Amino acid sequence: MEEQKGIFSKMSPKSGFLAGIGAALAVFFMIGFFVLLVMVLGGKDDADIAKDDSANPSVAGEQDPTNPQYTDIPLSEVSDSDWVRGNKDAKIAIVEFTDIECPYCQQFHETMVQVLDAYPNDVKWVYRHLPLPSLHPNAPKDAEAAECVGELGGQEAFWEYVDTLYSSSLSGVDQLVELAVGQGIDRDAFRTCLSSGKYTSKVSAQADEGAQAAEASTYLDSDPSNDGRWGTPFSVIVYGDQKIPIPGAYPFEYVQQVIDQLLAQ
């Protein structure tokens, strides 16, 4: 009696080889399916996933500029004591907390110049200090120097001096003096103001306010590794009772989109 042949024995060698591969793949995908099912059933819940995302710096802090988050950020109102560039009656104020020796602040400074050029009637730029002495030991004195120039020369002189500081390689008090004198500020009056320390408390108070504003921002609250205290520049777009944080040197295009959306309301 002839021995019965299996199904694979009836196939040609090539067909048998392909059928074997197909069977192996089928087993592989079946095992993979059950492994994935077990992982899903015993996996993380939504809170765990959100926690992982918030710890990822490429995820935390990002925001769709067409849908800005409105947050409760502690911020003192713009007043006559502020340094304001642009139309003082503008609907939108951008309050910037900045460190004169921070390269990212220099970058955003150029962005803000673009913003005022694009929105001369709709935006005003409010300058406040947030020096980071742990990174830039001379930054607090730079800020005080700007305040002294503003006292002796007014708004225009203040902004011209800040522009000059951002474009210079600062090396100490003597250079701060020479830059001020180069703008027509009296040398002795400037030295007296700077050495008196009369603006130390103002700079310190603005730095504290900037840190508190950054810490209250939903951008930075979403990232537990960054409390916002050491991040400059930190800015807030103010429109009525709406406050929108800008945590860093965002490009002009980003700021433009937020402004356009506010003006369209």
pLDDT at 249: 92
Question: Where is average pLDDT lowest: 25-34, 67-76, 140-149, 180-189?
Answer: 25-34
Rounded CA gap, 199 and 150, in Å? 11
Residue, of 32 and 231, whose pLDDT is higher: 231
Handedness of CA 195, 201, 202, 208 (dihedral sign): positive
pLDDT at 11: 44
Per the CB < 8 A criterion, the answer to whether 76 and 212 are in contact is: no
Spell out the residues 6+ positions from residue 12 whose beta carbon is closer than 8 angstroms to its own: none
pLDDT at 52: 35
pLDDT at 58: 25
Residue, of 81 and 199, whose pLDDT is higher: 199
Q: What does pLDDT average to over the chain? A: 78
Hey, what amino acid is at 260?
A: D
Residue, of 248 and 46, whose pLDDT is higher: 248
* Angle made by CA atoms 264, 93, 134, in degrees to the nearest 5: 130
Residue, of 56 and 10, whose pLDDT is higher: 10
Residue, of 41 and 251, whose pLDDT is higher: 251
pLDDT at 234: 92
Check pLDDT > 90 for residue 5. Answer: no
Rounded CA gap, 175 and 106, in Å? 18
Domain limits, the chain: 8-41, 69-263
134 alpha carbon, distance to own chain's centre: 19
Q: What string of DSSP letters covers 56-115?
A: -TTTTT---TTSPPP-----PPP-TTSEEEE-TT-SEEEEEEE-TT-HHHHHHHHHHHHH
Question: Where is average pLDDT lowest: 41-55, 83-97, 179-193, 248-262?
Answer: 41-55
Check pLDDT > 80 for residue 15. Answer: no
Rounded CA gap, 139 and 142, in Å? 5
Check pLDDT > 60 for residue 236. Answer: yes
User: What CATH number is given for 69-263 in this structure?
Assistant: 3.40.30.10
Check pLDDT > 70 for residue 136. Answer: yes
Q: Pairing relation of β-strands 92-98 and 123-129?
A: parallel
Structure token pair of residue 51:
């926690």
Check pLDDT > 90 for residue 35. Answer: no
Check pLDDT > 70 for residue 215. Answer: yes
Rounded CA gap, 171 and 176, in Å? 8
pLDDT at 69: 53
Check pLDDT > 80 for residue 38. Answer: no
Residue, of 25 and 162, whose pLDDT is higher: 162
Which tens digits make up the pLDDT trace of 157-196? 999 999 999 998 888 899 999 999 999 999 999 999 999 9
Q: What string of DSSP letters covers 136-148?
A: -TTHHHHHHHHHH
pLDDT at 71: 59
